[in-house]
Amino acid sequence: MANIRPSSDLRNKYNEISDFCNKYNEPVFITKNGTGDLVVLSNAEYERLCGKNELHRLLSEGLDCITPTSGIPAEDVFADIESEYGFGEV
């Protein structure tokens, strides 16, 4: 369930908001005059979300580089691995 607080709580109950964000890794939504204004996160949760976003960006970039002719046949990849590490030899 969303934790929604008025902007006055940010000033008057900062420690309570900070404790909640750090304990539950959940955001606190701050309203200003009854309208959504800010979202407060713990630093750890913010870093996790940034890392997740960066991972998605890199995966998308990698997928965009794939074309039907850009790959190496699986048989060749496995043959190289077997050759390099001695698999398949008796």
Asked, for residue 89, whether it belongs to a domain, the answer is no
Number of independent structural domains in the chain:
1
Asked, for residue 90, whether it belongs to a domain, the answer is no
How would residue 25 be classed by pLDDT, with cut points 50, 70 and 90?
very high
CATH of the domain at 33: 3.40.1620.10
Asked, for residue 8, whether it belongs to a domain, the answer is yes
Q: Domain span at residue 54? A: 3-84
The partner residues of 28 in beta bridges, in order of sequence, read 3, 40
**Tens of pLDDT along 31-75?**
999 999 999 999 999 999 999 999 999 999 999 988 878 788 899
pTM score: 0.67
Asked, for residue 13, whether it belongs to a domain, the answer is yes
Burial of 28 (0-12, 13-18, 19+ CB in 10 A): buried
Asked, for residue 12, whether it belongs to a domain, the answer is yes
How many helices (H) and strands (E) would you count in the chain? Answer: 4, 3
Residues in the chain: 90
How would residue 89 be classed by pLDDT, with cut points 50, 70 and 90?
low
